[in-house]
Amino acid sequence: MLKLGFGGKAKPRGFDYVPRFYDEAKEEREQRLKKFESTGDVSRDSENMKSRISAGLRAKAGGNHSQRAQMNRQSNIRLIIIILALILGIFVLMSSNKLVTLIEAFSK
């Protein structure tokens, strides 16, 4: 059936649960302690290993903000230098007669 009119399907209501109290430091501390517990269960140890790996990757992805800003600044400076070198090269090439003679040679 063809549905005419404005709008569309009704969107489901969102879930807006806000906890009254959440101690992020305590949660993180408990996670760190839990992943270093060693049990005899192989599946539990593999889960701990997975959580250690993911925590390490998460920490590296977050990284040091000042170091990331410095790397970003260096990248931007390098990009500006490359763009300026290209502009200078194009200017030298356009101001010389060699480009004109090259175009004339190919057009003949």
User: pTM to 2 decimals?
Assistant: 0.40
Domain boundaries, given as residue ranges, for the chain: 25-63, 65-108
| Cα of 93 vs its chain's centroid, Å | 38
Residues 49-55 have a mean pLDDT of 79
Residue/partner pairs of 85-91 with CB below 8 Å, 24 or more apart = none
Tell me the one-letter amino acid at 6. F
pLDDT at 66: 82
63-101 pLDDT tens trace? 677 888 898 999 999 999 999 999 999 888 888 888 788
Residue 12 in tokens: 């489901």
Give CA–CA dist 22/103, Å, rounded.
71
Give CA–CA dist 45/35, Å, rounded.
8
